[in-house]
Amino acid sequence: MFYKELDSIRTVEDRADAVIKQATDDGRQLIEDSRNRGFAMKSTAEEQAGEIFKKFVEEGKAVAMYNYENHIAQAKRDADQMARQAERNAAAAINLIAERIVNSSVDN
């Protein structure tokens, strides 16, 4: 009877050892799966961040180009307006210069 109980205890201990080993193996596999899933999530996040960055850069370039073109157009309009004013004032400026030249040569 003692041997029967001893065999029963050994059987239970063997099953307990098998359960512990299986739990340890399952735990290791769970950790490995979690690590792999974490690396995959990190990789996906990096790709998405890169795409978002590119999108912001493209939007920034578009806004900068829009502003640049508007400023260039305004500068051209201002230059054209100044040229028109200079043309309108050219005759008066020429007369003033000629008058000063004549007056300075008469005074001397």
Which amino acid is present at 33?
Answer: D
pTM: 0.54
Residues 6+ apart with CB under 8 A from 100: none
pLDDT tens digits, one per residue of 26-66: 999 999 999 999 999 999 999 999 999 999 999 999 999 99
**What DSSP character marks residue 108?**
-
